Chain A
Amino acid sequence: MSNWNLDDLSEWDDKICNLAEKYGLDWHKINYEVCDYYEMIGHMSYHGVPSHYNHWSYGKSFERTHQLYNAGVEGLPYELIINSDPSIAYLMKENPFYLQILIMAHCVGHSDFFKNNRAFKNTRPDIIVSRFRNAKKRIQGYIENPNIGIDYVETFLDALHTVRFQTERNNIRRLSKKEIEQKYVNIINNDKTEKYKNFDIDKDLLEPDYDLLGFLIEHGTHFKDWQIDILNIVRDESHYFMPQIKTKIMNEGWACFWHYKLLNELNLPQSCHIPFLKSHNQVVRPHLGKINPYHLGFFLFKKLEKDLGIDECFFIREIHEDESFIRCYLDLDACRDLNLFTYSTKKTGITIDDVSDEESWISVRDGLIKNIGLNSIPRVFVSDISTSGDLILEHDHDGRDLELDYAEEVVRKIQTIWPKDVKFFTIIEEEPWEI
């Protein structure tokens, strides 16, 4: 251990908490676990969840981080905190003292965000740890079950992971088959335009289903109980993580905003202050040609504090997600200050499309929005089931073409869990395309 012990941490934590409370931050109690770098990488591979079901991809993730860490390419992230109540955060033994203080203040920001942001309302942080633990136990049971075994479980998970985020994105309750039927009965009954005159109410699928995982659970009558259970586990996990994907910029920005504010007012000893500023600048530095969410979020919250006052910032952290946050608050000035631009790969090379000037900053902003959070994941929906039971998937094409060899591989994987044919439709270079 370095030049600090748990009592030191506790002492500074009290100072941080007192100050944060004064500002009106409202967070879940935080449990810090002090661990070494190896354990840290271990937890990172499972997104910080204390116990998580096994799958080789997490082993791969570990190897990769470990390799990079050993090669010195990548310092480990300063903080790892999960959305639970109490929040669980990890502090790495190898970190110097000033960095632990920074991380603790940063974690308070995150935890406040988890607790208050609207997107997290349905994540049930109080029971999430035991939910993950239970899921792990059940999957472990299937792996050890001589009638199932690791190979079946693994291939099944392989297939589900390819579409793990192809589910309802706003965590709206899934309507049951009956409810949907009722909905259309009502529509038909009140239909004055005769648009629904020939509507076949007995069809298997009355409307496109954007919740592929939910669809599989409901319509996959061929699945065994253990498969339905795993489907539910994967779908639940996606719903748990989606709010974090949707608020990455705000969440990191808010945490940086607060560690910066709190630490500047805490009268850090001189030996800590300079390295603190150095680390802070390192975290919130812009990445040339890329978007650093820490940088963008921090920049915007600083600007909002100046323009609108801190109370408004609290309000914004409650009601927005990254997409609406950017749309509302990234104006021409901000775009200019950040010198944002969009680019794409042309035949001649990578070329800048738009820069942040008066004429085209809106398209820069919208280009950015298309690339953040869940918007960077193509949407695929079930458009129909044929009478013979073929599964028809369709890509919700928004102007951006898919990477075909990836799509082919995914369709192949889905085929392994669907007894009849799986068809997939998208658009490539303006032409319909079928896999």
Chain B
Amino acid sequence: MSIFRNHKTSADRSATDRSRHKKKIRDAIKEGIHDIVSDESIIGQDGKKRIKIPVRGIKEYRFVYGNNEKNKSAGSAPGKNIRKGQKIGSGKKKEKDGDGKAGNKEGEEIYEVEITLEELSYYLFDNLNLPELEKKKFKDMVGDKIKRKGYRSKGIRPRLSKKETLKNKIRRKKATAYTGSLDRNKDERFPFHKNDLKYRHIDVKPKENSNAVIFFVMDTSGSMTKEKKFMARSFFFLLYHFLRHKYENVEIVFISHTISAKEVSENDFFKRASSGGTLLSSGIEKCLDISKKRYHPDAWNIYTFHCSDGDNWPEDNAKSIDLSHTLKSICQLYCYIQIVPETDRIAWTEGGMATVYSELEDAKFRIVNLESPDDIWPQFKKIFGGKQ
């Protein structure tokens, strides 16, 4: 007496709403992502590595009763022996796994979103830009960019695509067998034909040259504690991925210095124990030196980031400023990062090198003060034109 029918499959009805929901989650990732950039586990990973980040579900708020003494819940316990005052749960555990009181409050949902560092960079850096003046500069420099662009039936031998050629042959073989002119079961020879051959095609395009070299310079004197180094490292990590996001090729030069400077490997750069005094000028000199030898400013966009705790030998200040002027003139951006944890404030008084350098400060020369890991992202955004 009822009516039965097969459901007319309409379009996937919740598709629109799902994509809106996804967008909300992505926005949440964007907002919450800064908390994880200082997380040690992702620092130093290469771009392909996938990392999992927990994203809080988008809550739908409404008025609900709280989880407290006055709000009693009811339950059944068939066959169980229960008595007044019996403890049936810790209460804390429930909080921990995000499950509020049954039926009362929505449990907190955590979506685990897996993204690559590349995507992470996208979220982080999408709204940020290199300072305006750099763009002009590297527009002038033009190089050729070679890009693969499909396949052609004519070409030179070195560009023969074996895979596509073989695919064509298989296709032809199947077709021949289908028409009946080839016996599938017989192990007959089926040679390549001229028409099977496919060549990779390339397209040459003029392109803005986008090579960049980053000088990461770090003071490794005795006063650079582990904590300071970690902050330096987090900041460098962001810089590295940001510049890689914006440039095709990024080369990095690690320079560590105490009273003399040395080019070191990434590993040494971050891990080497610190000792000795500080001559900031030695690091700057090294940069100039290396750029002269390997990275001519006409061909390279040069970025220099110099990390220190601001403690320099006073005799060296004049020289440092002098050299910094020179370095600034060849750099797209020269940034001095002074790391002073709040707890260290009293160790020196005058504001350190940041004060000395202040005369240099302009669009190309920036001074960054980091006091705690929380400063890293806001300061980073300040340099690269974020809104805050």
Q: In the assembly, what is the distance between CA of A32 and CA of B94, in Å?
A: 41
B104 to chain A, nearest CB (A): 7
Q: A34 at interface (Cβ–Cβ under 8 A)?
A: yes
Q: B89 at interface (Cβ–Cβ under 8 A)?
A: yes
CB neighbours of B24 from chain A (8 A): 56
CB neighbours of B13 from chain A (8 A): 39, 42-43, 46
CB neighbours of B84 from chain A (8 A): 352-355, 360
Near B by CB (< 8 A), chain A positions 14-63 give: 14, 17, 29-35, 38-39, 42-43, 45-46, 54-60, 62-63
A345 to B21, Cβ gap below 8 A? Answer: no
B108 to chain A, nearest CB (A): 11
B118 to chain A, nearest CB (A): 25
Q: A120 at interface (Cβ–Cβ under 8 A)?
A: no
Q: In the assembly, what is the distance between CA of A79 and CA of B344, in Å?
A: 66
Near A by CB (< 8 A), chain B positions 1-59 give: 1-7, 9, 12-14, 16-24, 57-59
Q: B388 at interface (Cβ–Cβ under 8 A)?
A: no
Given the interface contacts A58-B17, A59-B17, does A289 sit within 8 Å of B88 by beta carbon? yes
Given the interface contacts A29-B2, A59-B17, A64-B109, does A345 sit within 8 Å of B83 by beta carbon? no
A345 to B101, Cβ gap below 8 A? Answer: yes
Q: B180 at interface (Cβ–Cβ under 8 A)?
A: no
A349 to chain B, nearest CB (A): 5
A239 to chain B, nearest CB (A): 17
B75 to A288, Cβ gap below 8 A? Answer: yes
A406 to B2, Cβ gap below 8 A? Answer: no
A162: contacting residue among B6, B61, B80, CB under 8 A: B61
A-B pairs under 8 A by CB, number: 249
Q: A205 at interface (Cβ–Cβ under 8 A)?
A: no
Known: A288-B75, A338-B78, A353-B84. 5 other contacts (CB 8 A): A6-B5, A344-B69, A346-B69, A370-B72, A371-B73
A376 to chain B, nearest CB (A): 7
Q: A318 at interface (Cβ–Cβ under 8 A)?
A: no
Question: How many A residues, CB 8 Å from partner?
Answer: 88
B1 to A29, Cβ gap below 8 A? Answer: yes
| Chain B interface (Cβ < 8 Å from any Cβ of A) | 1-7, 9, 12-14, 16-24, 57-80, 82-92, 94, 101-105, 109
A339 to B79, Cβ gap below 8 A? Answer: yes
A97 to chain B, nearest CB (A): 13
Q: In the assembly, what is the distance between CA of A325 and CA of B249, in Å?
A: 74
B105 to chain A, nearest CB (A): 6
A287 to chain B, nearest CB (A): 7
B1 to A364, Cβ gap below 8 A? Answer: no
Q: A362 at interface (Cβ–Cβ under 8 A)?
A: no
A205 to chain B, nearest CB (A): 20
A32 to B76, Cβ gap below 8 A? Answer: no
Q: In the assembly, what is the distance between CA of A39 and CA of B5, in Å?
A: 14
Chain B minimum-CB-distance residue to A165: B62
Given the interface contacts A62-B18, A164-B62, A406-B63, does A291 sit within 8 Å of B76 by beta carbon? yes
Q: In the assembly, what is the distance between CA of A378 and CA of B71, in Å?
A: 12
CB neighbours of A377 from chain B (8 A): 62-64
B16 to A54, Cβ gap below 8 A? Answer: yes
A59 to B65, Cβ gap below 8 A? Answer: no
A39 to B17, Cβ gap below 8 A? Answer: no
CB neighbours of A42 from chain B (8 A): 12-14
Q: In the assembly, what is the distance between CA of A292 and CA of B75, in Å?
A: 9
B61 to A351, Cβ gap below 8 A? Answer: no
A5 to chain B, nearest CB (A): 10
A399 to chain B, nearest CB (A): 6
Which of A177-185, A227-235, A259-267, A407-415 makes up part of the contact surface?
A407-415
Q: A90 at interface (Cβ–Cβ under 8 A)?
A: yes
- Could you write out 18 A-B pairs with CB less than 8 Å apart? A32-B4, A54-B20, A58-B17, A60-B17, A162-B61, A286-B78, A289-B76, A296-B76, A342-B72, A344-B72, A348-B87, A350-B91, A351-B88, A355-B83, A395-B63, A403-B64, A406-B105, A407-B63
CB neighbours of A39 from chain B (8 A): 7, 9, 13
How does the 8 Å CB contact mask read for A327-344 relative to B, with 1 for contact and 0 for none? 000000000001111111
B62 to A162, Cβ gap below 8 A? Answer: yes
Q: In the assembly, what is the distance between CA of A409 and CA of B75, in Å?
A: 29
- Interface centre among A45, A292, A295, A352, by most chain B C-beta atoms within 10 angstroms, is A352
A351 to chain B, nearest CB (A): 5
Top 10 A-B residue pairs of the complex, sorted by shortest distance between their CB atoms: A59-B17, A350-B89, A59-B18, A35-B7, A59-B21, A56-B20, A368-B74, A409-B61, A403-B66, A30-B2
CB neighbours of A164 from chain B (8 A): 62
